[in-house]
Structure 1
């Protein structure tokens, strides 16, 4: 219990949250481009920079930053939960022993499940707010009119029911493999480098963070596309397909995507996603490692994290 409620876990959680918020703020327009490519199926522009130029031309210079506050709020909460759970579980399980790739994967998976169940409503709301006011090519998308985060929660519960806040939970639970794979490769690469040197440089942390995220994103991207569609929840679907987030709907949407756009339709927006998520993850891990080390140094404590 002491390990779970430890000061060290809190430091890792705060550092992870600050790192993720910093990184997302810097690369936010890339995430906007990625989401448009995933949700707006009839958009013809395929490259990240062309989509961003279209958005700016049609919706204004600040349009790529639409929904920044709800995304940053959700990301802060989500990463705080993930980093806290990951480091607490690792401290309880490892207990002074050397960590292994298998343990990192299992701990990352459990931390991901906890994170998904607690924070999915925040991500549903921020996806809606981020796409509100967008000029879509797909006429099947139903527009929304939310005044803010609280109003979005109110309208979704009133019009779609409480369960709508957990739209996309099933693919999200499958996607816990994304951060689990990411942390597995990150921790593994870090251990390998630490065998050869006493301390990792900023460039080392940036590169291994980028590599770990690139692998995790490429493996899980088709499910991320379906997750975005389900979270948005504003497509006009057939009545039998209104129960969003079930295995049946995930398979249905995957099939429809492949039938209409081919296998590559599952990877629409991957360029923008890789560019955004790899750079974001790399910067996040850099800020996280530096902030954690600085905090422990200032407090005169030694981190219990094992290489």
Structure 2
């Protein structure tokens, strides 16, 4: 088989498709289970005047003020975005890895590089979905900050139309620059996850137990989240679209200055710990979500491979 045909097969193989679907289904299921924790995290990041409290206290406030279903506000657009995002990321990661490594033993540096490349593709393709779902998730919320302007979107399509009409097409890519920097988050996560998985297998292909998949998924996400959390806060603020950025400078310079100003202002208002406001809710949500997602991902892929008659995937030297 020629190199070109080999690479074509790797990119469009059933194995890559199975892993992408498993990643999308696993992440959607896990996010649904822990969705209220993400609501608490986002509210703390965006509403500067809301005092940081324990996650249960924040959720109790939201339920009391906005109703029992408020913690699940915006669930549908988030799940749609998450499915698309994780499908793209898992597909790019595993297809790039299959064509790059080609049966050789993978290394952490390879996983990190491939993770960054997959993350860049994912950000450029799916950022409009995340901008819309951030707006929908916060719509109708009771904010402590009176300067936040209310929005009135009837759904995903209406949000797209209104954002383009009132703010321009470029607004759908608000927060793209910090998002590109944040490709380090899933890249670090996958590097740690794949590295720990190789250590557990010790060079021999075997299925991970449910506990092993859950624990190494949790560890990988916890490290990646703590390292990149300040940028995640900036990303959420920009996606919300309430910040007016100057337009008389280049986009790159504007983005860099905006990120710097948001980080500096946060430190001035709340101290260094202000950069990590909402981290408890984020860690609780993202670590549990990632752990459950990886557990489901491993179970779905292994079960599918067995049904397809594959005792192990082709790229088992991962």
TM range (shorter): over 0.9
TM-superposed deviation, 1:238: 6.6
Unaligned runs of 5+ in 2: 1-7
Q: How does 1:155-174 map to 2 (within 5 A)?
A: 155-174=162-181
TM-superposed deviation, 1:199: 3.8
Partner SS, residue 34 of structure 2: helix
Unaligned runs of 5+ in 1: none
CA 1:103 to 1:239, structure 2 compared with 1: closer, same or farther past 3 Å?
Answer: closer
TM-score, scaled to structure 1: 0.96
CA 1:157 to 1:215, structure 2 compared with 1: closer, same or farther past 3 Å?
Answer: same
1:220 and 1:212 map into 2 onto residues whose CA distance is: 13
Deviation per CA, 1:173-225: give whole Å up to 9, x if none: 00000000000000000111111884421100100000000000000000000
TM-superposed deviation, 1:2: 1.4
- Conservation of the 8 A alpha-carbon contact between 1:171 and 1:250: yes
Which residue in 1 is equivalent to 2:24? 17
1:116 to 111, 123, 143: 123
Which residue in 1 is equivalent to 2:234? 226
2:180 and 2:286 map into 1 onto residues whose CA distance is: 19
2:49 and 2:246 map into 1 onto residues whose CA distance is: 22
- Conservation of the 8 A alpha-carbon contact between 1:143 and 1:234: no
TM-score, scaled to structure 2: 0.93
Partner SS, residue 2 of structure 1: helix
1:174 and 1:5 map into 2 onto residues whose CA distance is: 28
1:207 to 215, 222, 236: 215
Partner SS, residue 3 of structure 1: helix
1:266 and 1:82 map into 2 onto residues whose CA distance is: 27
Which residue in 2 is equivalent to 1:30? 37
2:150 and 2:156 map into 1 onto residues whose CA distance is: 16
TM-superposed deviation, 1:45: 4.0
Which residue in 2 is equivalent to 1:250? 259
2:113 and 2:23 map into 1 onto residues whose CA distance is: 19
